[in-house]
Each structure stands twice: as structure tokens, then as C-alpha cells.
Amino acid sequence: MLAEKLHPFIERYEEINRTLSSPEIASDIAKMTELNKELSQLTPLVEKAREYLQSIEAIEENKSLLSDPELGELAKEELSELEAKLPELEEEIKLLMLPKDKNDDKNIFLELRAGTGGDESALFVADVFRMYSRYAEKNGWRVELVSSSEGGAGGYKELIAQIKGEGVYSKLKYEAGTHRVQRVPETETQGRVHTSAITVAIIPEVDDVEVDIKPNEIKMDVYRSSGCGGQSVNTTDSAVRLTHIPTGIVVAIQDEKSQHKNRDKAMKILKARVYEMQLQKQLEEQSSQRKLQVGSGDRSEKIRTYNFPQNRLTDHRIGLTLYALDDIMAGNLDLVIDPLIAHAQAEAIKEAGL
């Protein structure tokens, strides 16, 4: 029964409050910070749990008054209200009881790469980046272009951006995978629909303490930038390539004129990619967890098709089809993201046996 599962959370909440009230804790700032963080995470659940337990108590009390000649009608009315409210409270509590994803509040690196389809694929990278940028704007997030490599006929062969703001990873974490596009390219004279694909990676930004990369594990190469970039291009060794020797992960950045700035950017991305690799390994070890992620987040997994002639978007993981592709490309991505989150939460509730 749900009520029984709530008592440990309430007990832990009360225990933390007692500890924080004791004089001894004042000298241990680290412990106090940790407990305050846990308390703030528990508070919404405990508030709902108390409301739920009080509602159950009130239901029993009203049931016992139904036969009372004076209070029976009033009890019946109140009982009806309380019983209608109970399922809604239960659903809210189940969501609050789910383990929190520690990355949900983090900023992300968005990595888009052209795949099959040549120039059309590179153009679609630019379209998808525009879609995410508009979605970020609607959410009050900040988008910073970190690195890009332009395609031959426009668009990008590769693009890396950082998106900063509240709950960025929690909203975008299910976007990782292969995004397929079906449309008539501008260069197509016969009006035939072509299919091409790009890959999307969503990588949480990490703190130094979360990923321990030792200096002797990194090989750094410097070289001259190529492409657009002003007077310093091809005149100084400002471009930086970092190789993480234990994993073989390589990051190359040449967008800044300063070697130092390029190295800083590359290091941030390298740490995030190493962290992502560790995260994937954990998910693979916990096969049940993979189901909760609406797919593994594997970049090779085809997750979505954008069909422009029919204004149709299909998310293959949850069988969602929407005839609102123009809306979604304009940044109304919640049309897809909200059902994905709801599906993941429903799977997690089932997995947790709540």
C-alpha cells in the first residue's frame, strides 16, 4: 500500500530537521550543506505525503459519520470530494518518489553531425539547430556556439553548442539518437523526396570533481586553423586537438583565435564526453534502467522521422505521430518532449512497483 511506503520518507525528513537543529552541525559546513540539499529534495514529497495521509484519515472519519442523522449529508459531500482527489494525489506522489536523475539540472553540450545524405544532411543539421535554438529561447535558456564545420552547399557537417539554463538536460535528454529527414532537396529538379539523417548527442556538462582526468592521460596537438576566421587563420597554431589516451576520445576546436581559449573549450567537451561514456556504461550494466531512458540514447538508434511533404513527425520509440512538423521546427518541441517524459515516468513508476 502506498501509505506504508511514505512513512520512511517522512521519518527521514524529520530526522534531517532534528540534525539541522542540533548545535553540533554548525561546525560541519559540508554536512550541513548536504543535509539541506536532501531536505529541499524531500520537502515536496513529504508535503504531498502528509496531505495524502490526512485525506485517508478524513475519508475514514467521514465514512463513520454517514449514518449520523445530523452530520451524514455533510460527511457524504466531503467524502465525495476527498475520494475524487485521492487518485490525483497518488499520481503526484508516485512521480515525487521516483529517484532523481542527478544530471537533470545540468547545462548540456548539443552535438549535431551530418550523416547519410550528403549536402541535404548538412542543411538539416542547420534546421535542427535552429529548432533547438528556438526551443531554448522559449524556455529562457542561453545558446552558445562552441564549434562548427560548414558543409559544401551550406549547413554544417558538424556543430557543437552549449545550452545553459534551468533544467536543460531534463528536457532534452531524450533527443539523443539518429534523426531522419524526408523531403525534396532544393537541388532536386524532379521533385523526388530524398531521405537523409543526422545524429544528435546530448551531453551533460560536468564539474571537475565528477570526472578525474589526469594531465598525463591527455595528448595535445596544436595546428593552424582552416576555413573562415579572419586574419589569424593559417598564420598561428591556434587550433587544438585533445586526445584522451585511456578512451581514445578526440576533441578538436579551432573557432577561437586564441590557443588558450580553444584548449579550454576542448577540455570542457572532453570531460563531458568521458562522463557520457561512463554514463552509457552504467546504463548498459543496468538493463532495466535503459527502458526508463526511452531508448538507450545510443546515437545509432533511429529515434525520429521528419516528413516534410506530409508535415508529419514520428517518434519511433513511443509510436507518436504528429501532423504539426512546421510547429515543431518553429520551436514548439514540447509537443514531442512532454509525451516522451510522460512515457519515461510511466515506465519508471511501473519499474519501481509503485
pLDDT at 235: 54
Phi, psi of 181 (to 5 degrees): -120, 140
Decide if 51 contacts 92 (C-beta within 8 A). no
- Grid coordinates representing 298? 545510443
pLDDT along the chain (354 residues), means of 10: 87 92 85 88 92 91 84 86 90 88 88 87 94 97 90 86 93 93 81 89 78 80 63 61 84 79 83 80 57 46 92 95 97 96 88 76
Cα(21)–Cα(19) distance, rounded to whole angstroms? 5
> Which single residue is written with the C-alpha cell 573557432?
255
Scanning 66-143, the segments in alpha helix (DSSP H) are: 72-97, 118-139
Integer CA distances (angstroms), 268 to 68, 140, 211, in order: 70, 23, 11
pTM of the predicted structure, to 2 decimals: 0.75
What CATH number should be reported for the domain whose range is 108-207+296-352? Answer: 3.30.70.1660
> Which single residue is written with the C-alpha cell 467524502?
79
3 state SS of 207: coil
**Could you tell me the fold of the domain covering 215-282?**
Double Stranded RNA Binding Domain (3.30.160)
Scanning 102-253, the segments in alpha helix (DSSP H) are: 118-139, 168-172
Q: Taking Cα atoms as reference points, which of 20, 15, 9 lies closest to residue 45?
A: 9
- What's the sign of the alpha-carbon dihedral 149, 109, 168, 172? positive
pLDDT at 230: 42
Q: Taking Cα atoms as reference points, which of 318, 345, 336, 283 lies closest to residue 175?
A: 336
Q: How many CB atoms lie within 10 A of CB 251?
A: 22
Q: Which residues contact 5 (CB under 8 A, 6 or more apart)?
A: 97, 354
pLDDT at 300: 60
